[in-house]
Amino acid sequence: MKKIFQLAGVLTTIQEPTDDVRELHRRLLESGGGLVIAGDAKGPAAWDLPESYFLSLSAQLESGFSLAHALPTGHYARKNIGYLHAIRSGADCIYETDDDNAPLDSWGPRPEAVSKVRKTESISGCQDFSLSGFSSQWVNVYRYFSNDLNIWPRGLPLNEIHSAPPLTSDLRPPTSDLRSSTSDIRAPIQQGLVNGSPDVDAIWRLTQDRPFEFEPRDSVWLAPGQWCPFNTQSTWWFPVAYPLLYVPSYCSFRMCDIWKSFIAQRCLWAMGFGIVFHAPEVFQQRNEHNLMKDFEDEVPGYLQNPRIAEVLDGLNLSGVPSDDLRSCYKALVKEGFFPDREFMLVDCWLADLGEILKPKNGNAEIFEKDA
């Protein structure tokens, strides 16, 4: 398949194009990019958005991806087919979002090497994050972009919401095979925050729901070993991290992207990378939600997120993202966080990805450890 976009925006929806999606589409086209939309059993069979790629359910089933037939319908995980389509089409960067997010003036294509970054203080005693048994900590990254003490990301353990985050400083990374020798740092996964209706949990919404805006401060790099949930609302992915895009199907809907983020972080640490968070780049007019249903769907996270982190901390990983993704799911299935059928979907995802990204043309990092 010929290359379609260097930058591919990916989302899944059951709606006609919203005003927010149309604005994103316009901005992507201005940037030389384009939009890939994964449909589902419900919703339109086609879109009236020119120069975009709408994948109806029938188109997904005809895509040649084994995962398309294995995934459940009526589920956010159909987004996985959008990722695979974008990767197969040659995207050099994937920007994922939702259909209720509109880009702010500050939105624009991002490079993998990030400058003007604040670095969190590293945890003492942490050396090799491919090994098990290191010390880790939870970080409320929202505190770096606001003086409000009562704001935290969905998925942060409730006993950590008032914990003070580590201090930060300007980043001057050491020279290594994975990081540049300048003030820039390589960041294969970058999360942009959201103004208006940020990604918070149902407890926050039920107790203090209000419009919220973060401050436009410099980006923050979390060192390996520092856990913070991130989401799929405004996130930039670069090729070495593509295997980690996978959204699980057989868990709570409100935790599928959060648990994805924990697995992705753990795999990145084994490669020597951390996550970068940016000041807001989109504004969300949130789709209607049943907050008590959201709360019910978040209960597994309230109760299990610390244990998931503990299990992932205990893994010996290789630094090869495709292998490490499988190791993470194998461990989480064994511990009962996912059923066995999730592991079958992971195998389909990796098989499809392996057909697309056979070790060549700079994609070797995905399949073998950096020399």
Positive or negative: CA dihedral 127, 130, 133, 139: positive
Averaged over 41-63, what is the pLDDT? 92
- Residue 51: CB partners within 8 Å, gap ≥ 6? 25, 29, 34
Q: Which of 38-52, 70-84, 175-189 has the highest mean pLDDT?
A: 70-84
Q: Which residues of 211-241 are buried (b: 16+ CB within 10 A; e: fewer)?
A: ebebeeeebbbbbbbbbbbbbbbbbbbbbbb
Two structure tokens written together for 274? 């951390």
Angstrom distance (rounded) from CA 124 to CA 105: 39
- How large a percentage of the chain has pLDDT more than 70? 90
For residues 226 and 266, give the distance between their C-alpha atoms in angstroms, rounded to a whole number.
Answer: 10
Confidence tier at 51 by pLDDT (50, 70, 90):
confident
Whether pLDDT at 194 is above 80: yes
- At residue 2 the predicted structure's pLDDT band, cuts being 50, 70 and 90, is low
Rounded Cα–Cα distance for residues 214 and 147 (Å): 9
Alpha-carbon gap, residue 287 to 14, rounded angstroms? 12
- What is the model's pLDDT at position 174? 38
> What pLDDT was estimated at residue 121?
80
Percent of the chain scoring above 90 in pLDDT: 81
Confirm if 317 and 268 have CB atoms less than 8 A apart: no
**Is the confidence at residue 172, as pLDDT, over 80?**
no
How large is the average pLDDT for residues 94-119?
A: 94
Mean pLDDT of the chain: 90
Distance CA 328, CA 263 (A): 7
Higher pLDDT, 159 or 135: 159
Long-range contacts (CB closer than 8 Å, 24 or more residues apart) made by 89-92: 89/1, 89/2, 89/3, 89/4, 89/5, 89/8, 89/36, 89/53, 90/1, 90/2, 90/3, 90/4, 90/5, 90/6, 91/3, 91/4, 91/5, 91/6, 91/7, 91/8, 92/6, 92/7, 92/238, 92/239
Q: In the numeric block, which tokens belong to residue 9?
A: 């925006």
Quote the crossing angle between the two packed helices 321-334 and 256-271, to the nearest 10°. 130
pLDDT at 142: 97
Contact 186, 275 (CB under 8 A): no
- Residue 76 CA from chain centroid, whole number: 13
Residue-by-residue DSSP string for 147-195:
S-SS---TTS-GGGTTPPPPPEEE--PPP-SSS-SSS-EE-SEEEEEEE
Structure confidence at residue 183 (pLDDT): 66
Q: CB of 49 within 8 A of CB of 39?
A: no
User: Helix, strand or coil for residue 269?
Assistant: helix
Residue 171 confidence class, pLDDT cut points 50, 70, 90: very low
Lowest mean pLDDT among 123-137, 184-198, 239-253, 329-343: 123-137
CB 47 within 8 A of CB 65: no
Q: Is pLDDT of 182 > 80?
A: no
Give me the pLDDT at residue 128, please. 77
Distance between CA atoms of 252 and 150, rounded to whole angstroms?
25
Give the residue-averaged pLDDT of 52-56. 95
- Please determine, for residue 177, whether its predicted confidence score (pLDDT) is greater than 60: no
Confidence band, pLDDT 50/70/90 cuts, at residue 123: low
Q: Say how far apart CA 244 and CA 260 lie, in whole Å.
A: 8
pLDDT at 334 > cutoff 50: yes
Q: Six-digit token pair at 210?
A: 């209000």
Confidence tier at 127 by pLDDT (50, 70, 90): low
Q: How confident is the model at residue 365 (pLDDT cuts 50, 70, 90)?
A: low
Would the pTM of this model clear 0.75, i.e. be above it?
yes
Q: Which residues of 95-127 are buried (b: 16+ CB within 10 A; e: fewer)?
A: bbbbbbbbbbeebeebebebeebbbbeeeeebe
Cα–Cα distance for residue pair 32/12, rounded to 1 Å? 21
- For the residues 116-128, what does the mean pLDDT come to? 75
Q: Are 139 and 120 in contact (CB under 8 A)?
A: yes
pLDDT average, residue stretch 41-54: 90
pLDDT digits (tens, 9 = 90+) for 242-301: 999 999 999 999 999 999 999 999 999 999 999 999 999 999 987 778 999 999 999 999
**What local confidence, expressed as pLDDT, does residue 288 receive?**
79
User: What pLDDT is attached to residue 342?
Assistant: 98
137-147 mean pLDDT: 96
Both tokens assigned to 219: 């980006």
pLDDT at 370 over 50: no
